């Protein structure tokens, strides 16, 4: 029983960890370990104790899965719960497929009891490690495919016009960007400073070069004497680790979103300048508010 428990504890921990990655819900390792221990205990008792067939039914297993997800991830909404539960089953199927592939090639024996498959492996540790390696490769490939397709779907070319200057760059439609100018309620596009600096006046560039975009006194002094005074905006925002952030924004002449026959011109918009890199590989340099698409 102890060996069976430990094996399932490791596998369940990894399944829940992968579930966390797929569902993008961060939880502590302790909570994952608790959920894994519950699942491992259930399997060990189900296989080794007689008269437990009722707990091996589909309904019982569904209830167990729901309980593990509720305890590990504590989703607040039904939609979030179902999403995490679905990712849990996807992760489980990936692990099961990898394990059965090696079982087949290794020609191992085993038995089925109460709906649970238990396998005898001559080189159990080796097969387990190989299975985990295969799962790691599959998960990595799936994540890269999903991320790349998601980005391609939501990447759009945009043009930003300031006076006689036009900046062209790629933007990601970011569903998490719900920023609006508090005075005019115009939607905000977040753009990297380095992508837009050439069209900014020298005094405005100095704010970002010296990393003083959070110094309100300095910003007020510079902006009050700038030719861009009428364009100036201050946009409050909240993000992880920063409850009261301020984004410097400017009103462009207009922006153009999309390409060819799908081009869309927008004037009622504010460009918020971010002094950080938005994409590691520079696949995009701006974040579009979904309202603009």
Alpha-carbon distance of 244 to 234, in angstroms, equals 12
**Catalytic site residue 198?**
no
Of the residues 174, 203, 206, 243, only one is catalytic, namely 174
Alpha-carbon distance of 234 to 158, in angstroms, equals 23
Residues 260, 238 contacting (CB under 8 angstroms): no
Catalytic residues: 174
């Amino acid at each position: 029983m102890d060996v069976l428990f430990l094996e399932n504890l490791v596998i369940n921990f990894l399944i829940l960890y992968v579930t966390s990655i797929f569902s993008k819900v961060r939880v502590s390792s302790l909570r994952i370990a608790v959920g894994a221990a519950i699942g491992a205990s259930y399997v060990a008792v189900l296989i080794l104790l007689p008269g437990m067939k009722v707990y091996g039914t589909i309904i019982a297993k569904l209830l167990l899965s729901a309980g593990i997800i509720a305890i590990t991830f504590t989703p607040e909404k039904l939609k979030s719960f179902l999403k995490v539960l679905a990712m849990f089953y996807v992760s489980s199927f990936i692990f099961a497929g990898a394990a059965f592939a090696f079982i087949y090639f290794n020609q191992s024996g085993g038995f089925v009891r109460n709906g649970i498959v238990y396998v005898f492996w001559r080189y159990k540790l080796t097969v387990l490690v190989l299975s985990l390696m295969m799962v790691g490769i599959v998960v990595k490939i799936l994540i890269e495919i999903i991320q790349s397709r998601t980005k391609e779907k939501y990447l759009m070319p945009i043009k930003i016009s300031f006076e006689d200057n036009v900046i062209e760059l790629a933007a990601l439609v970011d569903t998490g960007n719900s920023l609006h100018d508090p005075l005019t309620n115009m939607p905000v596009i977040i753009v990297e400073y380095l992508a837009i600096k050439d069209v900014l006046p020298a005094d405005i560039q100095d704010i970002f070069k010296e990393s003083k975009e959070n110094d309100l006194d300095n910003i007020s002094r510079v902006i009050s004497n700038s030719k861009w005074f009428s364009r100036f905006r201050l946009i409050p925002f909240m993000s992880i680790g920063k409850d009261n952030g301020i984004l410097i924004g400017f009103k462009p002449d207009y922006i153009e979103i999309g390409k060819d026959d799908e081009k869309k011109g927008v004037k009622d918009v504010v460009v918020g300048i971010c002094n950080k890199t938005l994409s590691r590989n520079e696949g995009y340099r701006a974040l579009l508010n979904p309202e603009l698409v």
